[in-house]
């Protein structure tokens, strides 16, 4: 299936979970937050969240700023 992750189109195996995505995508899980289709997904539920075709996923982390 194909999703948009941080603005890039990405192919993932069907049934992938948000937890799997974060692990593969982020250098370290610490300090990372995820939003799917504009809604924040609590860290504790990532393992139960199955991703679907066409979803917009945003993975954010803290950077130097402000």
**For binding to another protein (CB under 8 A), which residues are involved?**
6-7, 25-28, 30-35, 38, 40, 42-43, 56, 58-66
| CB of 3 closer than 8 Å to CB of 12 | yes
Q: Which is nearer to another protein, 13 or 27 (CB)?
A: 27
| CB of 49 closer than 8 Å to CB of 17 | yes
| CB 50 to another protein: min, Å | 19
Report CA torsion sign: 17, 18, 24, 25.
positive
Q: Which is nearer to another protein, 50 or 61 (CB)?
A: 61
| CB 61 to another protein: min, Å | 5
């Amino acid at each position: 299936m194909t999703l948009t992750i941080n603005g890039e189109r990405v192919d993932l195996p069907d049934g992938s979970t948000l937890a799997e995505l974060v692990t593969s995508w982020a250098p370290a899980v610490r300090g990372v937050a995820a939003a799917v289709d504009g809604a924040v997904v609590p860290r504790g539920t990532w393992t139960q969240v199955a991703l679907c075709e066409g979803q917009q996923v945003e993975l954010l982390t803290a950077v130097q700023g402000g």
